[in-house]
A = this chain, B = another copy of it.
Amino acid sequence: MSAFGAGTSKRAWLRPAFGLLVLAASVLWWIGVQPASARAPVEPITQFLLAVVAILLVCHLFGALLRRLGQPAVLGEIIGGLVLGPSVFGALAPTARTWLFPQHILSALDTAAQLGLIVFLFLLGCELRLSAIRRKRVVIGTVVGGTALPFVAGVSVALLAGPAMAGATGGATTHVLFIGLALSITALPVLARILVDLRIDRTDVGVIALTSAAVGDGITWVVLALITALAGASDSSQLVPRLGLSVAFVLVMVLCVRPALVVLTKRITSEQSLIAALVIGAVACAALGQVIGLHPMIAAFLFGTLVPRNETMARASEHLQGFTITILLPLFFAGVGLNTSLGLIGANLRGWLLFLVVLAAAMAGKIIGAGGGARLAGVPRRPALELGTLMNCRGITELVVASIGLKAGLINTYGFTVLVLVAVITSAMAGIMMRRFERAPAGAQADPDDRPGQAA
């Protein structure tokens, strides 16, 4: 926008701003003028709407701010969610926070966020296309190195830390495995956003990083399914039928639902019917997964991987993304923020130290593991380092996995907070360090939102 345009819009803002002030003043007058007896308590639906407005406003403002700073908007939205939590908003204005987010509103928001996550993981599954992988050797090296080393590092840290991050249920073994898994995550959607922002999504390094992250994502969900099944089985006699049922579920999905989907997507040419069919399928899989002991998000992701691709499908999933990513994901971020308590980390020296050790293990494990794996597969030194840096981005996938772990009792609130911080810091670092590597001028990035095909 030219200087002239900016000047015009500056003047154009004056009248609306004045008007909104008048409106706010009259609302305050109205509330003040009413007798206290007539001042009805806020209705539940109004309360819900106010909470939604507050969450969307804060998350998207931070998103816009971080985009200005050359970071992906989704990182800002995650930080916005943290700001709404007890550490910032709760510390600054505890009464306002309790008024804005009472318990019954929190559970309503959580339900909406769960529905959003199911659709989001379904969409992530849709994007996973293992058949499209090229340069298999390099991808295998990056994935194996970038998964195994941080997993081992995470398991070691969890063994050293003892019960400091462990949750109430699930036993020591599942907790240790879970921390290992949590450190070996790479976030496909945030990574994709960073690559697009830096305009390196079609370079060699970009394509290998994206593919490796996608394969790693698939592995993550399979391992997480195993860990939650292990944790959920209260005695060992339940474990075998539980795992057996999950395997049967996967088999039926691959052998029966997949061909059914092929027929269905060919038959349904109307976009709205296709959206309906896909959402019904994803939600039904999630519910069925929940019933047989497979996590609903994992079941929805699995369903997504089975959906065949065609043009109608692509448009339908694009339409689903609009609402899911802009409206429902911020509700999930707010839920994450409300469960995160930075005070727990600063409480004592041990808390700080453990957090730094986890962060170091996560970063070193991922950068050395993924970079070293790529190096062994024949990638030169500099691009191998770039690959390691990129794969270190954990973003939203880490948040989903940490939330699942918290709900399943595999980690406590302290462990949850540590993982959330690790996710935010590693994601921010991936962008910042890559920008240094590329020495790209700050103004050169493409508008990230112009490619709706990239989830988040």
* A contact residues vs B (CB 8 Å cutoff): 1, 9, 12-13, 15-20, 22-23, 26-27, 30-31, 33, 38, 42-46, 48-50, 52-53, 56-57, 60, 63-64, 73, 107-108, 111-112, 114-115, 118, 234, 238, 241, 245, 248-249, 252, 255-257, 259-260, 262-263, 266-267, 269-273, 275-277, 279-280, 283-284, 286-288, 290-292, 296, 316, 318-327, 447-450, 452
State the CA gap A15–B253 with chains docked (Å): 12
Contact among B45, B256, B271 for A290, CB-based, below 8 A = B45
- A238 proximity list for chain B (CB < 8 A): 38
**Alpha-carbon distance between A447 and B267 when the two chains are bound, in angstroms:** 13
Nearest first, the 6 A-B pairs at minimum CB distance are A19-B256, A270-B449, A319-B322, A16-B260, A323-B323, A49-B287
Given contacts A19-B256, A319-B323, 18 further A-B contacts (CB under 8 A): A12-B260, A12-B262, A17-B256, A19-B255, A27-B291, A30-B241, A49-B287, A49-B296, A56-B280, A56-B283, A60-B280, A271-B322, A271-B452, A272-B322, A272-B326, A279-B326, A279-B327, A323-B324
Contact of A15 among B18, B118, B255, B325 (CB under 8 A): B255
- What is the distance, in angstroms, from A285's C-beta to the closest C-beta of chain B? 10
A248 lies within 8 A of B288 (CB) = no
The distance in angstroms between the C-alpha atoms of A450 and B269, with both chains bound, is 8
CB distance from A158 to the nearest CB of B (A): 27
- Contact residues in B for A112 (Cβ distance below 8 Å): 111-112, 115
The answer to whether B26 touches A56 (Cβ under 8 A) is: no
- B residues in contact with A277, CB < 8 Å: 60
Q: Which residue of B lies closest to A254 (CB)?
A: B19
Q: State in angstroms the CA–CA spacing of A98 and B271 once bound together.
A: 33
